Amino acid sequence: MDARLNALCEELAQVLRGRGWMLASAESCTGGLIAAACTALPGSSNWFERGFVTYSNAAKTELLGVDEQAIASHGAVSEVVARAMAFGALRRSRAQAAVAVTGIAGPDGGSADKPVGTVWFGFSVDGHLSSETVRFDGDRQAIREATVQHALARLLALLQGA
C-alpha cells in the first residue's frame, strides 16, 4: 500500500478508535478498494465494521436500500445516490460512520454531463449526512486510487471536525 494512504488509514483508525466508533464503506467505482485499504492495517477489526461493494444498481438497491426510482431519475452517479448509499451503509451495519463512493472510472461510460472521472462521495458522521463531487483526471487506475485517497481524507476531516 502507498505510504500516504497507509498513513491516512492509520490516522483514521486512531480517530475512530478514540471515539469507540466503527466504519462502514459502500463502494461502487472503487470495487472494494476503500475496504481493502482500511483492512490492510493490523487491528482494523477494532474500527472497520464492514464494506459493501455495490457495483450494480441492483446491488445498491438490495444491499443498501437505495431507491430504484432515485437511480432511474438521477443516475447511479449522483448526489442522491451517494447520500443514500452512505445512509444505507450505516443503517445496515453496526457502524457509527460511513463513506460511500459512486463514479465513472472509465475508460467508457462518461457523458457530457458526467464525464469520466466524475465521482460522488457520501459521508455520514455523527448523524450528519454530507456529500460532494470531484472530477479526477487520469486513467481508470488513477481515478480509482484518487477516489480512495479523497474519500478517506475527507472522512478523516469530517471526523476531526465533528
0.95 exceeded by the pTM? yes
Give me the pLDDT at residue 162, please. 76
Name the H helices within 20-139. Answer: 33-39, 57-64, 68-74, 79-91
Q: How would you class 15 by CB atoms within 10 Å of its CB: exposed for 0-12, middle for 13-18, buried for 19 or more?
A: middle
Instruction: pLDDT band for 140, please (50, 70, 90 cuts).
Output: very high
CB within 8 A of 45, min separation 6: which ones?
A: none
In order of 50, 69, 121, 143, the CA distances from 155 in angstroms are 16, 28, 10, 18
CB atoms within 10 A of CB 125: 23
Longest dimension (CA), the chain: 44
How many Å apart are CA 157 and CA 77, to the nearest integer?
23
1 pLDDT exceeds 90? no
21 pLDDT exceeds 90? yes
For the chain, the residue count is 162
Average pLDDT over residues 75-92: 98
C-alpha 50, offset from chain centre:
12
Residue pLDDT, tens place only, 146-158: 999 999 999 999 9
151 grid coordinates: 474519500
Give me the pLDDT at residue 136, please. 98
Q: Domain holding 94: CATH number?
A: 3.90.950.20
Residue pLDDT, tens place only, 96-124: 999 999 999 999 999 999 999 999 999 99
Residue pLDDT, tens place only, 35-78: 999 999 999 999 999 999 999 999 999 999 999 999 999 999 99
Range of the structural domain that residue 92 is part of = 3-161
What is the domain count for the chain? 1
